[in-house]
Structure formats: structure tokens, C-alpha cells
Amino acid sequence: MIDTIIIDGLSFGLPLFIIAVGGIFSERSGVINLALEGLLGFGAFSGALAVVLIGSVFGLGGAGVYVAILFAMLGGTLFAVIHAVLCIQFKANQVISGVVINILSVSLTAFLTRQLNVLIFNQPSNRFMLGVTRRVTVPYISEIPVLGAFFTNFYVFQIVILAVAVTAFVVFEKSRFGMRLRACGDNPHAVDAAGINVERTKFAAVLVSGALAGLGGISFAYSITANFSPAIFMGYGYLAIAALIFGNWNIPTTLGAALLFGFARSGGFQLAQALEMSSNFNDVVMTLPYVLTLILLVFFSKNSRVPRALGEIYDKGKR
């Protein structure tokens, strides 16, 4: 049972983590990003649509997941432009912008999925079928008790997520762009005084958040639902926001928070299976990550180190 909890927990926790990393990029630049839910959904829609269209003509086989990841990140980036333009160019309320984008994404993707299925595939369906991507097991290491579960039956996209996360961490912590981004979230006027374009830096950070949210969204589509459907929008974006807050807007600690939520979800599911609970009780047990989120935020929110300029409308003239 422990091995299953670890395997399933990783398949949920890692996509959640990369979405949260996207949120960190945006919010450490000073832009509140409640739109993660909508960005992951539109990213998943874009990736799934690309796979079913290209696959129907050429056939993709095992390469489908990589095509889906590429187009999901592009789709998430394009949809993030809306949030960036509203919040940075037009200086709209960032919370309202995020909520509106989430609603727009749910409605737009559901409408487009139905219409495209009818027009292209002549099927009245509200989902794009993807199937579950292949799993990989590392020989020898996977045979180690407990620890080996981390190297057993993991999805291909989990490797991609880890590679992207390491790259994001290096860019965020070690690069000049990352330093400027973090400075924008704390003291944007000082950044402007240094001759750096604050709005351009914030805009880039929001686009990065869209790309990473799209990667997480298509990962959920390939693992949890095996298709793209409105089921992708299940609060995962908000759970990612909770993870980054619990992780104090820091990438390594956010990884711990995301994995904690993932293991709580898989542990709850295994508990329900072991106790042979009915489907009704099973649904209750699956709320464990959200209950855990509330508990953690109650005890740890007082210690949160919020970026000092988070949510502030940057006005160059007020320097």
C-alpha cells in the first residue's frame, strides 16, 4: 500500500508543483495570479486538441505526449497574455482578472471542445480522448523497499516536469532575469530607478506562469482523466496557489507542500479502498488535500513572507 501511495502521490503532486512554480514566478514579480486554474485548463485543451488533430492525420504513438506538452505550454502562455495585458497594461484589479479568466477558460474550452468534436470528428462529445501515457520503471533501484517506489511506474511527463522545474529554479535563483523578477515583487520603483523595464519583467513572469500551468494541466489530463474534459477544472489551480503560499513563495518548500497534498490524496484513496467504503464515502475521503490545505493555512499563514509589492498596481509616476 505504501508503494501505491507514493506512486500515485507523485503523479498528482508533481503536476501540482509545476503549476505552483508558475504561480511563484508571477507573484514574486508582484502580479497576483488566481488565473492558474484557467491557464492549466486552456493549456490542457490546447495540448489535447493538437494531439487529436495531428494524430488523426499522421499518427503520433508514444510521441503524442511530447507534442501535447509543447502545445499545452504554448496554449497556457497565450492565454496568460490576457491576464498580463489586463493587469499590467490596463492596470485592472488582479484578483478580479484572475477570477474572470478562470470562468472564461471553463466556458470557452467546454464550448470549443463540443463544437470541434462535431465539426471535425462528427462526434457529439465534450472531451478529447488521450489515453494514459506509458509508465517507466528504473531497474534495480525500483527494487529497494519504499525508496524504490519513487522510481517505479512513473509517467514520462514526470521526468519532463522535474527537468523543467530544475531549469526554472536555476533561472529564478541564479539568473539576472530571476533577480530582477524578485526585485519587482518587493520594490519595483528601485528596479525602475536602475534602468530596468518593470512592466516587461512582470509581463514575462506572467507568461512563464502560463506555460508552466499548461504543462501541469496536460499532465493531469494524461494521468487522472486520460482525456481532456471539463473535469480538468477541479480546483487544482487553487490547490497550487495554496501550495505556493504554504511554501512561502519558495520553490523547494513548495515542492514539499505539493507532494504533501499529493500523498494526502493518494493516501485517502487507498484508505477508502482498504476500508471498502461506498462511493459516497470515497468522494469525502478525496477531499483530504483540501481539508489539509485549510488546516495548514490556519497554522502557517501567520509566518508567510508575502512579496511586499504583491498585488500593487505599478505606477511609474509615483516613484
Q: Where are the domains of the chain?
A: 14-242+305-318
Residue 106 has pLDDT above 70, yes or no: yes
pLDDT reported for residue 4: 85
Residue 294 has pLDDT above 80, yes or no: no
pLDDT reported for residue 131: 72
Average pLDDT over residues 157-180: 96
| pLDDT band of 226, cuts 50, 70, 90 | confident
Average pLDDT over residues 98-107: 95
* Least confident segment among 4-13, 36-45, 181-190, 250-259: 4-13
Average pLDDT over residues 80-101: 96
- Higher-confidence residue of 212 and 59: namely 212
Cα 115 to chain centroid, rounded: 26
Tell me the chain's radius of gyration from C-alpha atoms. 20
| pLDDT band of 183, cuts 50, 70, 90 | very high
The tens digit of pLDDT for each residue in 126-152 reads 888 887 777 888 887 888 887 888 888
Spatial distance between the Cα atoms of 186 and 189, rounded to a whole number of angstroms: 9
What DSSP designation does 276 have? T
Residue tagged 520594490 (cell numbers): 187
Average pLDDT over residues 265-270: 82
The grid cell for 109 is 474550452
* pLDDT averaged over every residue in the chain: 89
What is the CB neighbour count within 10 angstroms for residue 252?
10
State if pTM tops 0.85: yes
* Least confident segment among 11-20, 125-134, 248-257: 125-134
pLDDT reported for residue 120: 85
The tens digit of pLDDT for each residue in 27-56 reads 999 999 999 999 999 999 999 999 998 877
Average pLDDT over residues 70-85: 97
pLDDT reported for residue 174: 95
Question: What percentage of the chain exceeds 90 in pLDDT?
Answer: 58
pLDDT reported for residue 304: 75
Residue 231 has pLDDT above 80, yes or no: no
Terminal-to-terminal C-alpha distance of the chain: 58
The burial of 280, by beta-carbon neighbours within 10 Å (0-12 exposed, 13-18 middle, 19 or more buried), is given as: exposed
Average pLDDT over residues 303-310: 86
| pLDDT band of 318, cuts 50, 70, 90 | low
The grid cell for 305 is 513572507
Residue 266 has pLDDT above 90, yes or no: no
